[in-house]
Amino acid sequence: MNTNPDLILASASPRRSELLRQLGVRFRVLTADIDETPELNEKPEQYVQRLAREKAQTILRSAQRPAHLAVLGADTIVVCDGQLLGKPADADQAAAMLSQLSAHTHRVLTAVCVCNDEKLQIRLSDTEVTFRALSAHDTDCYIRSGEPFGKAGAYAVQGLGAAFVTGISGSYSGVVGLPLFETAQLLKEFDVPTALDRGCPDE
Ligand SMILES: Cc1cn([C@H]2C[C@H](O)[C@@H](COP(=O)(O)OP(=O)(O)OP(=O)(O)O)O2)c(=O)[nH]c1=O
Protein backbone atom coordinates (compact mmCIF):
# COMPACT_ATOMS: atom_id res chain seq x y z
CA MET A 1 0.00 0.00 0.00
CA ASN A 2 2.57 2.56 -1.13
CA THR A 3 0.54 4.96 -3.31
CA ASN A 4 -0.45 8.18 -1.52
CA PRO A 5 0.12 6.87 2.00
CA ASP A 6 -1.66 8.51 4.98
CA LEU A 7 0.72 7.08 7.60
CA ILE A 8 4.24 5.76 8.11
CA LEU A 9 4.45 2.39 9.90
CA ALA A 10 7.77 2.31 11.78
CA SER A 11 7.98 -1.49 11.94
CA ALA A 12 9.67 -4.38 10.18
CA SER A 13 7.05 -6.78 11.57
CA PRO A 14 5.00 -8.42 8.79
CA ARG A 15 2.26 -9.03 11.39
CA ARG A 16 1.92 -5.30 12.08
CA SER A 17 1.65 -4.55 8.34
CA GLU A 18 -0.99 -7.25 7.98
CA LEU A 19 -3.02 -5.94 10.94
CA LEU A 20 -2.86 -2.33 9.72
CA ARG A 21 -4.02 -3.49 6.29
CA GLN A 22 -6.99 -5.10 8.06
CA LEU A 23 -8.15 -1.57 9.01
CA GLY A 24 -7.73 -0.44 5.41
CA VAL A 25 -5.10 2.18 6.32
CA ARG A 26 -2.94 3.46 3.44
CA PHE A 27 0.60 3.33 4.78
CA ARG A 28 4.24 3.02 3.91
CA VAL A 29 6.84 1.10 5.96
CA LEU A 30 10.08 2.67 7.21
CA THR A 31 12.01 0.61 9.75
CA ALA A 32 13.63 1.90 12.92
CA ASP A 33 16.54 0.05 14.48
CA ILE A 34 16.67 0.98 18.17
CA ASP A 35 18.49 -0.31 21.26
CA GLU A 36 16.00 -2.57 23.08
CA THR A 37 17.97 -2.93 26.34
CA PRO A 38 15.71 -2.40 29.37
CA GLU A 39 16.75 0.38 31.76
CA LEU A 40 17.61 -0.42 35.37
CA ASN A 41 14.42 -1.00 37.43
CA GLU A 42 12.24 -0.15 34.43
CA LYS A 43 8.72 -1.61 34.80
CA PRO A 44 7.39 -3.71 31.86
CA GLU A 45 4.62 -1.13 31.21
CA GLN A 46 7.21 1.68 31.05
CA TYR A 47 9.63 -0.35 28.92
CA VAL A 48 7.10 -1.36 26.24
CA GLN A 49 5.75 2.20 25.95
CA ARG A 50 9.25 3.68 25.77
CA LEU A 51 10.20 1.31 22.94
CA ALA A 52 7.03 2.05 20.96
CA ARG A 53 7.73 5.79 21.39
CA GLU A 54 11.40 5.47 20.41
CA LYS A 55 10.54 3.49 17.27
CA ALA A 56 8.01 6.14 16.18
CA GLN A 57 10.24 9.11 17.10
CA THR A 58 13.28 7.65 15.33
CA ILE A 59 11.34 7.64 12.07
CA LEU A 60 9.66 10.99 12.82
CA ARG A 61 13.14 12.55 13.00
CA SER A 62 14.56 10.69 10.00
CA ALA A 63 15.18 12.49 6.73
CA GLN A 64 13.28 9.73 4.90
CA ARG A 65 9.89 10.72 6.38
CA PRO A 66 7.62 12.77 4.14
CA ALA A 67 7.08 15.90 6.33
CA HIS A 68 3.30 15.83 6.65
CA LEU A 69 2.83 12.16 7.58
CA ALA A 70 2.19 10.83 11.10
CA VAL A 71 4.25 7.85 12.26
CA LEU A 72 3.08 4.71 14.12
CA GLY A 73 5.45 2.57 16.20
CA ALA A 74 4.59 -0.43 18.39
CA ASP A 75 6.25 -2.87 20.75
CA THR A 76 5.12 -6.20 22.21
CA ILE A 77 6.44 -8.02 25.27
CA VAL A 78 5.38 -11.02 27.33
CA VAL A 79 5.39 -10.81 31.12
CA CYS A 80 5.35 -14.11 33.05
CA ASP A 81 5.75 -14.31 36.84
CA GLY A 82 6.94 -10.69 36.80
CA GLN A 83 9.68 -11.50 34.29
CA LEU A 84 9.91 -9.73 30.96
CA LEU A 85 10.22 -12.04 27.93
CA GLY A 86 11.29 -10.53 24.64
CA LYS A 87 12.28 -12.33 21.43
CA PRO A 88 14.42 -15.46 22.05
CA ALA A 89 18.02 -15.15 20.84
CA ASP A 90 18.42 -18.92 20.28
CA ALA A 91 16.78 -22.33 20.77
CA ASP A 92 17.86 -22.58 24.42
CA GLN A 93 16.24 -19.28 25.27
CA ALA A 94 13.10 -20.28 23.36
CA ALA A 95 12.93 -23.56 25.33
CA ALA A 96 13.38 -21.70 28.64
CA MET A 97 10.60 -19.23 27.74
CA LEU A 98 8.20 -21.97 26.65
CA SER A 99 8.77 -23.97 29.83
CA GLN A 100 8.04 -20.82 31.85
CA LEU A 101 4.77 -20.27 29.95
CA SER A 102 3.69 -23.93 30.26
CA ALA A 103 0.54 -24.35 32.41
CA HIS A 104 0.61 -20.67 33.36
CA THR A 105 -1.26 -17.45 32.63
CA HIS A 106 0.95 -14.62 31.33
CA ARG A 107 0.37 -11.07 30.12
CA VAL A 108 1.06 -9.74 26.65
CA LEU A 109 1.64 -5.99 26.61
CA THR A 110 1.57 -4.09 23.33
CA ALA A 111 2.13 -0.34 23.23
CA VAL A 112 1.18 1.72 20.18
CA CYS A 113 2.55 5.21 19.65
CA VAL A 114 1.43 7.66 16.98
CA CYS A 115 3.15 11.01 16.57
CA ASN A 116 3.55 13.92 14.19
CA ASP A 117 5.36 17.26 14.49
CA GLU A 118 2.69 18.63 16.88
CA LYS A 119 1.76 15.76 19.22
CA LEU A 120 2.44 12.24 20.44
CA GLN A 121 -0.07 9.74 21.84
CA ILE A 122 0.40 6.25 23.28
CA ARG A 123 -2.08 3.45 24.06
CA LEU A 124 -1.26 0.28 25.99
CA SER A 125 -3.05 -3.02 25.48
CA ASP A 126 -2.75 -5.62 28.26
CA THR A 127 -4.02 -9.16 27.56
CA GLU A 128 -3.97 -12.35 29.63
CA VAL A 129 -3.09 -15.57 27.80
CA THR A 130 -3.24 -19.04 29.38
CA PHE A 131 -1.15 -21.98 28.13
CA ARG A 132 -1.84 -25.67 28.67
CA ALA A 133 0.97 -27.81 30.04
CA LEU A 134 3.63 -28.37 27.34
CA SER A 135 5.53 -31.66 27.05
CA ALA A 136 9.20 -31.81 26.07
CA HIS A 137 8.01 -33.18 22.72
CA ASP A 138 5.71 -30.16 22.17
CA THR A 139 8.54 -27.73 22.94
CA ASP A 140 11.11 -29.57 20.77
CA CYS A 141 8.80 -29.81 17.76
CA TYR A 142 7.66 -26.22 18.13
CA ILE A 143 11.21 -24.88 18.26
CA ARG A 144 12.13 -26.99 15.22
CA SER A 145 9.22 -25.39 13.33
CA GLY A 146 11.12 -22.08 13.60
CA GLU A 147 7.99 -20.21 14.67
CA PRO A 148 9.28 -19.02 18.10
CA PHE A 149 12.00 -16.86 16.56
CA GLY A 150 11.25 -13.17 16.13
CA LYS A 151 8.24 -13.48 18.49
CA ALA A 152 7.99 -12.08 22.01
CA GLY A 153 7.69 -14.97 24.49
CA ALA A 154 8.79 -17.46 21.77
CA TYR A 155 5.32 -18.21 20.39
CA ALA A 156 2.80 -16.97 17.84
CA VAL A 157 -0.89 -17.13 18.75
CA GLN A 158 -1.69 -16.63 15.05
CA GLY A 159 0.31 -19.76 14.15
CA LEU A 160 0.98 -23.24 15.48
CA GLY A 161 1.34 -21.68 18.95
CA ALA A 162 -2.47 -21.44 19.04
CA ALA A 163 -2.48 -25.17 19.90
CA PHE A 164 -1.02 -24.25 23.33
CA VAL A 165 -3.50 -21.49 24.19
CA THR A 166 -6.48 -22.46 26.34
CA GLY A 167 -7.81 -18.91 26.72
CA ILE A 168 -7.30 -15.22 26.05
CA SER A 169 -8.76 -12.29 27.94
CA GLY A 170 -8.23 -8.98 26.19
CA SER A 171 -7.11 -8.09 22.67
CA TYR A 172 -6.23 -10.88 20.21
CA SER A 173 -4.72 -8.39 17.74
CA GLY A 174 -2.73 -6.91 20.64
CA VAL A 175 -1.14 -10.33 21.23
CA VAL A 176 -0.26 -10.63 17.53
CA GLY A 177 1.45 -7.21 17.70
CA LEU A 178 -0.99 -4.35 17.03
CA PRO A 179 -4.19 -3.86 19.09
CA LEU A 180 -6.64 -2.73 16.43
CA PHE A 181 -9.29 -1.10 18.65
CA GLU A 182 -6.68 1.15 20.31
CA THR A 183 -4.95 1.74 16.97
CA ALA A 184 -8.18 2.85 15.27
CA GLN A 185 -8.84 5.27 18.16
CA LEU A 186 -5.36 6.77 17.85
CA LEU A 187 -5.60 7.09 14.07
CA LYS A 188 -8.86 9.03 14.46
CA GLU A 189 -7.09 11.52 16.73
CA PHE A 190 -4.48 12.07 14.01
CA ASP A 191 -7.04 12.25 11.17
CA VAL A 192 -5.55 9.16 9.52
CA PRO A 193 -8.44 7.47 7.69
CA THR A 194 -9.32 3.79 7.93
CA ALA A 195 -11.59 2.05 5.41
CA LEU A 196 -14.52 2.93 7.71
CA ASP A 197 -13.75 6.65 7.37
CA ARG A 198 -13.48 6.38 3.59
CA GLY A 199 -16.92 4.76 3.45
CA CYS A 200 -15.87 1.54 1.77
CA PRO A 201 -12.95 -0.88 2.11
CA ASP A 202 -10.11 -0.94 -0.43
CA GLU A 203 -10.59 -3.73 -2.91
C1 LIG B 1 3.09 -13.01 21.62
C2 LIG B 1 3.24 -12.84 20.13
C3 LIG B 1 4.17 -11.98 19.59
N4 LIG B 1 4.31 -11.85 18.24
C5 LIG B 1 5.30 -10.94 17.65
C6 LIG B 1 4.78 -9.50 17.40
C7 LIG B 1 6.07 -8.73 17.21
O8 LIG B 1 6.41 -8.76 15.81
C9 LIG B 1 7.09 -9.55 18.00
C10 LIG B 1 7.61 -8.76 19.17
O11 LIG B 1 8.71 -8.01 18.74
P12 LIG B 1 8.76 -6.42 18.69
O13 LIG B 1 10.11 -6.01 19.17
O14 LIG B 1 7.56 -5.83 19.37
O15 LIG B 1 8.62 -6.10 17.14
P16 LIG B 1 9.49 -6.59 15.91
O17 LIG B 1 10.95 -6.62 16.25
O18 LIG B 1 8.90 -7.85 15.35
O19 LIG B 1 9.22 -5.43 14.84
P20 LIG B 1 9.52 -3.85 14.93
O21 LIG B 1 10.36 -3.59 16.17
O22 LIG B 1 10.25 -3.52 13.66
O23 LIG B 1 8.17 -3.20 15.01
O24 LIG B 1 6.42 -10.72 18.47
C25 LIG B 1 3.50 -12.57 17.38
O26 LIG B 1 3.63 -12.45 16.14
N27 LIG B 1 2.55 -13.41 17.90
C28 LIG B 1 2.38 -13.60 19.24
O29 LIG B 1 1.50 -14.38 19.64
ipTM at complex level: 0.97
In the chain, what percentage of residues exceed pLDDT 70? 97
Other Cβ atoms closer than 10 A to 17: 17
For residue 173, the SS3 value is helix
**188: CB partners within 8 A, 6+ apart:** 197
Among the listed residues 109, 87, 110, 93, the one whose alpha carbon sits nearest the alpha carbon of residue 178: 110
Pocket of ligand 1 (CB under 6 A): 11-13, 15-16, 31, 55, 74-76, 78, 87, 108, 150-153, 155-158, 161, 175-177
**Measured in angstroms, how far is the CA atom of residue 177 from the centroid of ligand 1?**
5
Q: Which of 33, 75, 117, 140 is catalytic?
A: 75
Are the C-beta atoms of 30 and 56 separated by less than 8 Å?
A: no
Whether 182 has a pLDDT exceeding 70, the answer reads yes
Task: Select 7-198's CATH number: 3.40.50.11290, 3.40.1410.10, 3.30.9.80, 3.90.950.10.
Answer: 3.90.950.10
| Residues 114-151 pLDDT 10s | 999 999 999 999 999 999 999 999 999 999 999 999 99
Give the pLDDT confidence score for residue 63 in this predicted structure: 81
Nearest-angstrom CA–CA distance, 119 and 1: 25
| Residues 24-65 pLDDT 10s | 999 999 998 899 999 999 999 999 999 999 999 999 999 888
| Residues 163-177 pLDDT 10s | 999 999 999 999 999
Nearest-angstrom CA–CA distance, 188 and 171: 19
User: So where are the chain's domains?
Assistant: 7-198
